[in-house]
């Protein structure tokens, strides 16, 4: 622990797994740099405070109905959160800062998608720093949406899917980061509001590193005109930090991996939101089984439509694998990816999964589902070349089997593995003294300390 800065930061994560993890990792990083941490969170998907004894937690009722909270329509959920949280968040913040504290509140750090917090912070004259939990390259694509709308790329037409997007390097029309929603116009509105609130902030923290996303970071620096701090990968600062998992991690994942040969296992997980149809689930199962490669597969409860968990698997499927496959509801993913037996990650390319895989040098088979995942998959396969894409339309057992073999056995796989291990080195060296993220964190700390805030009542 470094010397105390005598300042307190208020952090407000978006209540989704892929956003809670990086916010709590950031909290740990800033705490280790001497800041006191208060976390405000919604009752919905609340993190477990007992995993973080050094932080103070305050929750508020978010007012989401059961239907709103359990929807798969993420843009609609974000819309509700940005509307329903305004008043209770404001009240929670007001209560906190009205009480005299040993340490003055210096700033609010809130998720980029919680755009309403900019106006709330302004109303309290409290500076707001944004945490973007996804990558910079995908954000750069979002900032180009007004131009793409003007050029008639949206709504996306099936006949244009393979066309290159000339305004954006590397992307084809099918890679544009859209999301299926009942309110497509609201999705665009959400992005526009998110971007303008981000521009009005006092700075942006990114869970990325310069060597990985330099071009996008340079572009955004010019476009957004606020200080950027790329201090990632967050989870590599301290390997002993607590897990922010909302589901229980099944530790049998690790004991099973211990029994497998080095670099042999295909780890399969599609994050915390993506869902599959019954037909897709069966193709995945048979593709994995037919690949003859050991696999560890995360199937979240209720993530396969029409099934609670594995009941759609054919009778005897697991027994017939003879121990070659292990299926869990939720895995300790970072530990899994760092395990010597893991040789590949079949992923949906959520930003956290992508970064976690890069940091362990694990090559990826990419199957993006929506939003930034599509851009991340393009960068993994066409820019960094540490994986390749399994096209969504081709979720078919023969295709899966062939792709797994290509990565695990063919020359192409060897080259990908080699590039992945070089990128891993870069992801670690940026955190060392003098490295880009190390320096960026120093700048972030100085920046926070320099912020002109109301400096809410310190005890006299």
The footprint of ligand UDX (CB under 6 A) covers 16-19, 21, 133-134, 245, 269, 271-274, 298, 330-331, 333-334, 350-353, 356, 371-373
Measured between alpha carbons, how far is residue 177 from residues 11, 135, 187, 296, 451 in Å?
27, 12, 11, 28, 34
Backbone φ and ψ of 97, nearest 5°: -85, -5
Note whether 81 and 16 are within 8 A (CB): no
Give the nearest distance from C-beta 81 to ligand UDX in angstroms: 14
**Are 104 and 9 within 8 A, CB to CB?**
no
DSSP-derived letter for residue 169 is T
Considering the complex, state which of residue 37 and residue 377 has its C-beta at the smaller distance from ligand UDX. Answer: 377
Instruction: Residue 209: count other Cβ atoms within 10 Å of its Cβ.
Output: 29
Residue 170 CB coordination number (10 Å) = 15
SS3 287: helix
CA dist., res. 376 & res. 73, Å (int): 21
Instruction: CB nearer to ligand UDX: give 8 or 326.
Output: 326
Q: Which is nearer to ligand UDX, 233 or 413 (CB)?
A: 233
Provide the token pair at 24: 């709590």
63 vs 43, 81, 113, 115, 187, CA distance in Å?
9, 9, 18, 18, 21
* Contact present, 196 and 223 (Cβ < 8 Å): no
Closest distance to ligand UDX from the beta carbon of 423 (Å): 17
Complex with ligand UDX: residue 350 or 361, whichever CB lies closer? 350
Q: Tell me the C-alpha distance between 34 and 106, whole Å.
A: 13
Q: Which is nearer to ligand UDX, 127 or 233 (CB)?
A: 233
Min. distance of Cβ 77 from ligand UDX in angstroms? 12
Closest distance to ligand UDX from the beta carbon of 177 (Å): 9
CB 280 within 8 A of CB 397: no
Is 106 or 117 the residue whose CB approaches ligand UDX more closely? 117
Using CA atoms, how far residue 297 sits from 271, 278, 374, in Å, is 11, 16, 21
Name the minimum Å distance from CB 458 to ligand UDX. Answer: 36
Query: Which CB sits closer to ligand UDX, 19 or 128?
Result: 19
CB 335 to ligand UDX: min, Å: 9
Residue 370 CB neighbour total at 10 angstroms:
17
Smallest gap, in angstroms, from Cβ of residue 196 to ligand UDX? 21
What is the rounded distance in angstroms from the CA atom of residue 395 to the CA atom of residue 437?
A: 38
Q: Spell out the residues 6+ positions from residue 126 whose beta carbon is closer than 8 angstroms to its own.
A: 10, 93, 97, 105, 107, 108, 453, 454, 456
- At its nearest, how many Å lie between ligand UDX and the CB of residue 19? 6
Which H or E run includes 193?
A: helix 184-199
Does residue 233 have a cis peptide bond before it, meaning omega lies within 30 degrees of 0?
A: yes
Considering the complex, state which of residue 202 and residue 303 has its C-beta at the smaller distance from ligand UDX. Answer: 303
Q: Which is nearer to ligand UDX, 28 or 269 (CB)?
A: 269
Q: Which is nearer to ligand UDX, 18 or 203 (CB)?
A: 18
Least spacing, CB of residue 14 vs ligand UDX, in Å: 8
Q: How far is the CB of 364 from ligand UDX (least distance, A)?
A: 11
CB of 352 to ligand UDX, least distance (A): 3
Residue pair 52/32 in contact by the 8 Å Cβ criterion: no
Residue 151 or residue 251: which is nearer to ligand UDX going by CB?
Answer: 251
Q: How far apart are CA 232 and CA 435, in angstroms?
A: 11
């Amino acid at each position: 622990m470094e010397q105390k800065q005598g300042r307190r930061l208020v952090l407000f994560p978006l209540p989704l797994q892929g956003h809670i993890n990086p916010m709590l990792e950031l909290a740990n990083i800033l705490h280790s740099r001497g800041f006191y941490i208060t976390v405000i969170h919604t009752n919905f998907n609340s993190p477990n405070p007992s995993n973080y004894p050094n932080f103070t937690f305050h929750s508020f009722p978010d007012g989401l109905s059961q239907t709103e909270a359990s929807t798969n329509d993420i843009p609609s959920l974000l819309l509700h959160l940005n509307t329903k949280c305004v008043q209770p968040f404001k009240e929670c913040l007001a209560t906190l800062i009205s009480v005299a504290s040993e340490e003055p509140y210096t700033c609010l750090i809130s998720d980029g998608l919680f755009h309403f917090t900019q106006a709330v912070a302004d109303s309290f004259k409290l500076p707001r720093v944004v945490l973007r939990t996804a990558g910079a390259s995908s954000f750069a694509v979002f900032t180009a949406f007004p131009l793409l709308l003007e050029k008639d790329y949206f709504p996306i037409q099936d006949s244009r899917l393979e066309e290159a997007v000339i305004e954006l390097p590397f992307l084809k029309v099918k890679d544009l980061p859209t999301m299926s929603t009942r309110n497509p116009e609201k999705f665009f509105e959400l992005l526009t509001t998110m971007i303008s609130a981000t521009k009005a902030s006092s700075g942006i923290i990114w869970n990325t590193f310069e060597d990985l996303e330099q071009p996008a970071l340079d572009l955004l620096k010019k476009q957004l005109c606020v200080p950027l701090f790329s201090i990632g990968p967050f989870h590599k600062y301290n390997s002993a930090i607590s897990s922010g998992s909302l589901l229980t991690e099944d530790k049998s994942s690790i004991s099973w991996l211990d029994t497998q040969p080095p670099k042999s296992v295909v780890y399969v997980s599609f994050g915390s939101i993506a869902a599959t149809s019954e037909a897709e689930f069966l193709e995945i199962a048979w593709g994995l089984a037919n690949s003859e490669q050991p696999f560890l597969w995360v199937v979240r409860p209720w993530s396969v439509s029409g099934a609670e968990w594995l009941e759609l698997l054919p009778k005897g499927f697991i027994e017939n694998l003879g121990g070659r496959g292990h299926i869990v509801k939720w895995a300790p993913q970072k530990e899994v990816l760092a395990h010597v037996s893991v040789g590949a990650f079949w992923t949906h390319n959520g930003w956290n999964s992508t970064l976690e895989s890069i940091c362990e040098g694990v090559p990826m088979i990419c199957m993006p589902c929506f939003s930034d995942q599509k851009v991340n998959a393009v960068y993994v396969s066409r820019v960094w070349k540490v994986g390749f894409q399994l096209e969504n339309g081709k979720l078919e057992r023969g295709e899966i089997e062939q792709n797994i073999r290509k990565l695990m056995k063919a020359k192409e796989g060897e080259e990908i593995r080699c590039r992945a291990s070089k990128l891993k080195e870069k992801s670690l060296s940026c955190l060392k003294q003098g490295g880009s993220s190390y320096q960026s964190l120093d700048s972030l700390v100085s920046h926070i300390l320099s912020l002109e805030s109301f400096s809410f009542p310190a005890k006299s």
